[in-house]
Structure 1
Amino acid sequence: MNQLPAPTRIGRQQATSDEYNDGPFTFRPATKDGFNATVAIQGPSGSGKTWTGLSIASGLAEGERFAVIDTERGAAALYVNDLGVAFDTLPMHRYDPRDLQKALAAAAQAGYRVVMVDSLSHFWKGTDGTLDQVEKAKSKYGGNKFAGWKDGTPLQNEMIEALMSYPGHVVVTMRSYVHWVLENGSPVNKGMRAEQRKGIEFEFDVAAEMDENNRLRFIKSRCPSFRGLVLNQPHGAKDIAKPYLDWLRDGGKETDPSIWIDAANAADATPDGLLALYREVEAARALATPLLHPDTGAPISLGELIKERGTALKAASAA
């Protein structure tokens, strides 16, 4: 009878250490430094969300040109003379969430202090949007659409992270619809819901909904001025942008991410210096700041750029 060979004991392999991701957990004094406005306006067609969003963006821009990422067939451009504000548009015709990341990176590269997305709904249910990505991915999992979310969820999350980490103020509009549910066999109106992933409005510091009468109701606000407030035919620059900026600047300072970007690309950068820079950017909640790669032109986050360069320099010095 053949005997099995004696078992060979193998030592437990140590996980590869990542000095960038395995940093210390360090508490720091709370501060409002570096926070930007993030505003979401949702509503049905004709409620005035594009007009209101443009007015808010113009107030946040304080006289500077701002950027509009347009998925609404040029709707924003129709108001350029009526509002008397200067802005540039980028028409989008496909709505892959990765394309929004590219557009945000391009806007950041161009130095726009304010970017508006009109509307964010297309990147959820438009051509090549998140729902389309899930539908395409299910073929990899035997037609299982639920499994397709393994691909769709990261795309959606990375898009939102890039939006929330834009190095400036962000305004988005979203289409909405009446959400009905059956209760005891009867349809019950549960209010308006944005055409985006459920709960998307809670990603923003300020979120409001508009109705067909151009009445705006705040549904979430970290800015105390807006809590429980309802505005009829709001003037976005005066009623929303100004008090929001006043609140952000009360005890808070603006940060300039170009200083970090220049440091990441500096010719005399060192591995230790880049690791320290990563920690500084991490503490400022700016790792996901969208950029265009200086060599390839592909979208990349500020954190990834610093890590890539630091890792490459460390490998070169060890060679």
Structure 2
Amino acid sequence: MSLPAPKRTPQQPQHDDHEGEFTFRPATKGHSHARVALQGVSGSGKTWTGLALTRGLADGGRFAVIDTERGSASKYVGINGVQFDTLQMHRYDPRDLVKALAAAEKAGYGALMIDSLSHFWKGLDGTLQQVDKAKSRYGGNSFAGWKEGTPMQNDMIDALLAYPGHIVATMRSHTEWVLQENDRGRREPVAMGTRAEQRKGVEYEFDIVGAMDVDNRLTVLKSRCPALHRRVIETPDGGAIAKELLAWLQDAAPAAA
């Protein structure tokens, strides 16, 4: 579903004690944190890869999972020593994710995984349902519905980007079945992921966007980290990827555009 362009109220210029002075300084990463999205079809391995990646980004510290997948992440507890805290969510109002992020910040988690972000778009009480509820109050007017739904979605993404730690978000992919030739020369149906089940354009908000397929292959679709640019990784090691990301973030060189 396409969204109308959000209406923004013009902001008055903010003035400080140095009115009229604008100073440019050398760009640095500062204390940047990773924003990673992993999308894929069911069975592609995005939850396990995301857990290993989040654990690596935590770098020995505590990390947590906001779980919308009915405890699927918790089934990996203990494998290769993975331990984490979890918050189970069963309703997916985007305003509740804002509250969950605030709770994670208060608890001091240096890395956080959201498994999955797709539910806050099209799950129970997600953005799409919030729009439908608003539409019903305005006689089925779609624009009136999005007038309420768009700010909720935007506030959720803003809270995710503002989190003072690393974020790894999984997203379900729209699944299409295509016929491919197998190693026996026979054509068989294979699940192929297309775009992520989230608001169109959400990939722009992340530093790294990777797509995973049913063969557990990770294809990097977008990367601000040069070491991961256009990489195709067979059976990805989330911990190894985390090390590359941490090295990039800790480097004093300017960030890639």
Please report the TM-score for the alignment, with normalisation by the length of structure 2: 0.83
Q: Report if the CA contact (8 A) 2:65-2:87 is conserved.
A: yes
Return structure 1 stretches of 4+ with deviation > 3 angstroms.
Answer: 15-20, 23-28
Query: 1:201–1:179: structure 2 CA closer, same or farther, 3 Å change rule?
Result: farther
Give the match for residue 223 of structure 2.
221
Tell me if 1:33 matches 2:34. Answer: no
Deviations 1:238-270 (A, max 9, x none): 1x1000100110117xxxxxxxxxxxxxxxxxx
**Count of residues paired in the alignment:** 228
1:129 to 118, 121, 126: 126
Task: State the match for 2:143 in structure 1.
Answer: 146
Q: Determine the structure 2 residue equivalent to 1:236.
A: 238
RCO comparison, higher one (Cα < 8 Å, 6+):
2
The Cα of 1:19 is off from its aligned counterpart by 5.9
- What percent identity do the matched residue pairs reach? 64
Change (3 A) 1:67 1:191: closer
How large is the Cα RMSD of the aligned pairs?
2.3
* Alignment map for 1:130-279 (pairs within 5 Å): 130-178=127-175, 192-238=194-240, 240-251=241-252
Shift of 1:203: 0.9
Q: Determine the structure 1 residue equivalent to 2:52.
A: 55
Do 1:55 and 1:83's aligned partners in 2 also have CA atoms closer than 8 Å? no
Report deviation, 1:179.
Answer: 6.3
Following superposition, the deviation at residue 66 of structure 1 comes to 0.3
Structure 1: any 5+ residue segments left out of the alignment?
Answer: 1-14, 181-189, 253-319
Per-residue CA deviation, residues 151-187 of structure 1 (Å, 9 max, x unaligned), is 111100110010011000000000001469xxxxxxx
Does 2:67 correspond to 1:70? yes
Superimposed CA distance per residue, residues 62-103 of structure 1 (whole angstroms, 9 cap, x where no aligned partner): 112201000000011100111312210000011000100000
Aligned to 1:90: 87
TM-score, scaled relative to structure 1? 0.67
State whether residues 53 and 238 of structure 2, in contact with CA within 8 Å, keep that contact through their aligned partners in structure 1: yes
Cα offsets for 1:202-260 (capped at 9, x unmatched): 2100000000010000000000011111011111011x1000100110117xxxxxxxx
Q: Distance in 2 between matches of 1:130 and 1:250?
A: 37
Change (3 A) 1:249 1:146: same
Unaligned runs of 5+ in 2: 1-10, 178-191
Cα offsets for 1:119-174 (capped at 9, x unmatched): 00000000110000000011233211232111111100110010011000000000
> Whose Rg is larger?
1
Q: Distance in 1 between matches of 2:251 and 2:12?
A: 44
Task: Indicate yes or no: 2:43 matched with 1:46.
Answer: yes
What are the superposed Cα offsets for residues 30-70 of structure 1, whole Å, 9 maximum, x if unpaired?
A: 11102101100000111000000000001001112201000
